[in-house]
Amino acid sequence: MILVFGGAYNGKVNFVKEKFNISNEDIFTVNDDLKDLNVDFSKKVINNFHKLTYKLSLDNIDALDYIIENQELFKNKIIVCDDISQGIVPLKKEDRFWRENTGRCLQYIGKNSEVIYRVFCGIPMVINDE
């Protein structure tokens, strides 16, 4: 796996496209209206990973368990996720749960990734490279 994270609208997808020669057809973007967790694992990139953890949280599914149970499907993917760990702690319990769940998932993905990039203002920084 490769993990790419950073703030919203900081150029993560553009970085992935350029660095790994990825086309739009190779990217599965998780939308707000994701139904029945139909993630297209045939794509090389899973974009908006944080929205997947949100959907799992709303459905009372442990996101980390979901990742571990499907680790073979995630194995060779590039995971793109907004960094939702900073800023003001959310007031709503559901949003705090989602934020914590996403953090746990990113820790697991990070430990199992070949390379981790943080993209800030369109500039990639290597966080970890095996």
Q: In 2-92, which ranges are continuous DSSP H helix?
A: 12-20, 49-58, 63-69, 71-74
- The amino acid present at 86, given as its one-letter code, is Q
Q: Is the pTM of this model over 0.75?
A: yes
d(CA 36, CA 82) in angstroms, rounded, equals 22
How many Cα atoms are found within 13 Å in the side-chain-facing hemisphere of 104?
16
Output the CA torsion sign for 16, 103, 49, 112: positive
pLDDT of residue 98: 84
The domain covering 2-129 belongs, at the CATH homologous superfamily level, to P-loop containing nucleotide triphosphate hydrolases (3.40.50.300)
pLDDT mean across residues, the chain: 91
The domain segmentation of the chain, as residue ranges, is 2-129
Report the distance separating Cα 104 and Cα 82, nearest Å: 14
- 39 touches 76 (CB < 8 A): no
Parallel, antiparallel or unpaired: strands 78-82 and 115-120: unpaired
Q: Which helix (H) or strand (E) holds 98?
A: helix 93-111
What integer pLDDT is reported at residue 97 of this predicted model?
84
Residue 12, pLDDT score: 97
Residues paired with 116 in a beta bridge: 3, 128
Q: Among candidates 108, 106, 111, which has minimal Cα distance to 130?
A: 111
**Token pair recorded at residue 8:** 């919203």
Count of beta carbons in the 10 Å neighbourhood of residue 60: 7
The predicted-structure confidence for 10-64, as pLDDT tens digits, reads as follows 999 999 999 999 999 999 999 877 666 788 999 999 999 999 999 998 888 899 9
